[in-house]
Amino acid sequence: MTDRAPLHLGRTSSLPATPAEAVLDYVPNPRQGTFYTVRFAAPEFTSLCPVTGQPDFAHLVIDYVPDATIVESKSLKLFLASFRNHCGFHEDVTVGVGQRLFGEMNPIWMRVGGYWYPRGGIPIDVFWQSGEIPAGVWVPDQGVAPYRGRG
| Active centre residues (catalytic) | 49, 56
Question: The dihedral of CA 87, 88, 94, 97: what is its sign?
Answer: negative
Select from 105, 98, 100 the least CA-distant residue to 131: 98
- Please report which helix (H) or strand (E) contains residue 102, including its range: helix 90-105
- Please report which helix (H) or strand (E) contains residue 131, including its range: none
